[in-house]
Structure 1
């Protein structure tokens, strides 16, 4: 039967939610890639599949638009939480991802806040191809690395203006030091509670924003002693807030907005379907 979907965005970082509760999960790499095509499909940065779960309200599975799997997506997690809380008339909800159980809530100002789990810093957790100190990687500019369930590499730059992200990002993303590739951040510290972030996203290019990248960039800045524990992260599409006290879990808060809803016909859920 046709599947419903909801297209949403978080500061311009667009994603779709596919509701596969009470049914078999039909999404494959080929189908995610077909739906992600901005010319012949729906188009998105990420896709989140909503699945039944025994120990949480919903389990989420994430896909990139190129058909690759990812472990975490802060924007789509917030979108799923917003949708499910509205559906159930609740102010909090628990989601399961490969990061574990994530507690989500709607703040008094209407933002969606998500416990994004604990950041990881060991070189094998990023992962890196070989052992290195993750506070200063052996690359020009000595970037900082961490994992939020996906790899993040952060450069701190005095001035982002004129920086050619499209030229710099792909080479860093695919550097042999990162066997699973990496998200790449370019950060200008405005003050200890405010950074400007531009992103080259692993398998995705230049997005207007990214929840997990905002978390990774803020965490790496806090680790370096450049930032306080509550940080406004200003991306190309708008701002989110990241809170981390130097240990334990990271909290991400920001807006999400619905764009439109629809159904995916059965014909597009077949392995060899032609594009929409």
Structure 2
């Protein structure tokens, strides 16, 4: 199978974009892993597939595959790249694009040459829906890991996240602790792990260990979840600049029941073809 693709990134979180509307695409987990492999394939954190919608009221269907071949529910940086990709491929000329995902409907708004704003919908805080094993909903939770107890937030942005506050993201044990928490039994669907350093009420730094990927240079849903976890504890204002290793995202959230809005860049790197 020969596939045309575009390599894109959002703040260094990189994607292989595949148009499944104008070409026939049949992906398996093995083929996704081959494409994502940085030595024998193209290389990416995630593969994003554009399909025709099943819902007639939206513009596209958007499927997301991690580098390990697993399909996941949502990806904020990918959503911004998705918006730019479908416009550059002339699949739509709309500036407001409605997209069907496994997590629900996303509204993407193209702003200028490379900025895209995404309405991520309201965050999910009820433990059973994240999913996270806890008796009651709380602002934060104790989590036992390898004999240590950590205080974490738990949020779903269509995919599960946990957030730890740290004094300095540069020295945080992102790889070792992130890997241990990703498969913690209290997160039955595994979890993305955010390490958040709050600078002041409008600025923060973040590193994210993504399930099925490892640490990435940026994670859009992770930035949203981190801001929500900090805001429900009264630590930040309703708009925060969150800086990740790959760059900065603007996250806006008025409060419970309201949608989270994420704004940031999406960049095309190159186009090509691959046989898988």
Q: Secondary structure at the match of 1:220?
A: helix
Q: TM-score, normalised by structure 2?
A: 0.91
Q: Secondary structure at the match of 1:166?
A: helix
Deviation at 1:133, TM superposition (A): 3.1
Deviation at 1:104, TM superposition (A): 1.0
Residue of structure 2 equivalent to 1:173:
182
1-structure distance, mates of 2:160, 2:67: 18
> What are structure 2's unaligned runs of at least 5 residues?
144-148
Paired residues of 1:124 and 1:131 also in contact (CA < 8 A): no
Deviation at 1:73, TM superposition (A): 0.8
Residue of structure 2 equivalent to 1:195:
204
Paired residues of 1:57 and 1:93 also in contact (CA < 8 A): yes
2-structure distance, mates of 1:189, 1:245: 18
Residue of structure 2 equivalent to 1:150:
159
2:109 aligned with 1:105, yes or no?
yes
Residue of structure 2 equivalent to 1:233:
242
2-structure distance, mates of 1:134, 1:36: 38
2-structure distance, mates of 1:185, 1:17: 25
2-structure distance, mates of 1:161, 1:82: 32
2:125 aligned with 1:121, yes or no?
yes
Deviation at 1:220, TM superposition (A): 0.8
Q: TM-score, normalised by structure 1?
A: 0.91
2-structure distance, mates of 1:39, 1:243: 38
Paired residues of 1:211 and 1:252 also in contact (CA < 8 A): yes
Deviation at 1:199, TM superposition (A): 1.1
- Please, which of 222, 227, 232 is the counterpart of residue 218 of structure 1? 227
Post-superposition Cα deviations, 1:130-163, rounded to whole Å, max 9, x if no partner, equal: 4343422221231110101111100112222322
Paired residues of 1:25 and 1:51 also in contact (CA < 8 A): no
2-structure distance, mates of 1:185, 1:130: 19
Cα 1:39–1:109 change in 2 (3 A) is closer
2-structure distance, mates of 1:250, 1:71: 16
Matches within 5 A, 1:15-94: 15-22=15-22, 24-53=24-53, 54-86=56-88, 87=90, 88-94=92-98
1-structure distance, mates of 2:245, 2:93: 32
Residue of structure 1 equivalent to 2:146:
none
Taking only aligned residues, the RMSD between alpha carbons, in angstroms, comes to 1.6
1-structure distance, mates of 2:201, 2:63: 35
Post-superposition Cα deviations, 1:47-91, rounded to whole Å, max 9, x if no partner, equal: 111001133221001100001111001111110101223423432
2-structure distance, mates of 1:216, 1:67: 24
> What are structure 1's unaligned runs of at least 5 residues?
269-276
Residue of structure 1 equivalent to 2:11:
11
Residue of structure 2 equivalent to 1:259:
269
Count of aligned positions:
266
2-structure distance, mates of 1:110, 1:257: 7
2:170 aligned with 1:161, yes or no?
yes
